[in-house]
Amino acid sequence: MNSLCTDIGYVCLNKTGEQLCGDHVEIVEQGDNATVVVLADGLGSGVKANILSTLTAKIISTMMANDMTIEDCVSTIAATLPVCEVRKVAYSTFTIIRIAGNNLEAEIIQYDNPHVILLRDGKHVDYPEICEMIDGKAIYKTKLKLKEGDAFIAMSDGAIHAGVGQSLNFGWQREQIVEFMETIYDPAFTAKTLSAMLVNECSRLYGGEPGDDTSACTVKIRRRQPMNLLIGPPADPKDVNKMMALFFSKEGKHIVCGGTTSTLAAEFLHEPLDVSMPTYIDPEIPPTAKIKGVDLVTEGVITMSRVLEYARDYLKDNERYTDWSYKKDGASSIARMLFEEATDINFYVGRAVNPAHQNPNLPIGFNIKMRLIEELSECLKKMGKKIKVSYF
């Protein structure tokens, strides 16, 4: 087992006037050491395209995850999906990226989508392709070895149609997309950020009114980064030392949330709790503190509520990215650490009831801490993070 993992993030943009996207991305874990990602682009747009792409992506990802051959996948799709009366075509186009071998090997299978872009150390790299005819369709196959930092960018044809007849005569060609991605690439960017930047540029070229469904899905190979977050004292005061010992023995960075919790952490570490005011303060977020041996010390429920808001938005359009990506307040700092840095997150949650949280004048209800962590955990799982929650 090595220390590499996959970071997967995608963004879909609907065609102007459509409620549903005709593209669909499906991600399936195949055992402990393989992941299948499918980006499908349904014929046309709207409801029909959405159904076609969703069925295609789900059928392919499920079959691939169960070690079925691509020949079987294509034949099944052709037999399962309805045929378009006008074009006599039965299914959507698709791109499959399968990461296996403990994240050291990739298999790419492509049918009629713009070909996947591979960035290695931020620069475009050509990869070998073998073309096979399956059921009369040209399917391109690739197998290659991976390195840390490799980023695969899959897209629907809405990306290369961006700007047709508007800012660009012939759309945005793949070569120009490669140049754009090389220019904006930063090793610190997550897969979601890279996908969002590509789709945002497509939207700009469309003049804010996309003429086609446009999607980008990035699969990035990165090193595992464990993160540990402690919030709330344990229900039984006798468990304080046990909880703290387990928390601080874990590899990776350590975040402590809550006034009482940070006091207990400082006592456990035999270090002072520094609550001097920081330089940058968000008036709605309580200030951070410092303890030697802890990477970040923040207030509890109010701060974590804001982190949850950012997490919900991240999974939608990520419109509040600029709110948390550079600010120095506690919620923004936690968001950066959990969303961008961390791959594996361990939550240590104390069940002690905080009397302040029972105040009916505060906009927080009973057991808010538990619900916060539960919902945040679900959001982080959807971001592709590995989550473990321990209660005390």
Instruction: Label residue 2 by pLDDT band (50, 70, 90).
Output: low
Instruction: Label residue 351 by pLDDT band (50, 70, 90).
Output: confident
**Token pair recorded at residue 291:** 């303890």
Estimate the crossing angle of helix 259-269 against helix 240-249, to 10 degrees.
80
pLDDT tens-digit series, residues 105-161: 999 999 889 999 999 999 999 999 999 988 778 889 999 999 999 999 999 988 988
pLDDT tens-digit series, residues 34-82: 899 999 998 878 888 898 899 989 998 888 888 888 788 888 887 777 6
pLDDT tens-digit series, residues 319-331: 888 889 888 899 9
pLDDT tens-digit series, residues 262-294: 999 999 999 999 987 655 577 889 999 999 999
For 313-345, give one letter per residue: b (16+ CB within 10 A) or e. bbeeebebbebbeebebbbbbbbbbbbbebbbb
Can you list the alpha helix ranges (DSSP code H) found in the chain?
A: 46-65, 70-80, 174-184, 191-205, 240-249, 259-269, 301-315, 321-324, 330-335, 368-382
- More confident site: 368 or 89: 368
Task: Locate the domains of the chain by residue range.
Answer: 4-223, 226-391
pLDDT tens-digit series, residues 6-31: 999 999 999 999 899 999 999 998 77
How many Å apart are CA 31 and CA 38, to the nearest integer? 17
Percent of the chain with pLDDT over 90: 58
Q: What is the pLDDT of residue 332?
A: 95
- For the 4-223 domain, the top CATH level (class) is alpha beta
How many Å apart are CA 116 and CA 213, to the nearest integer? 17
How many Å apart are CA 358 and CA 22, to the nearest integer? 47
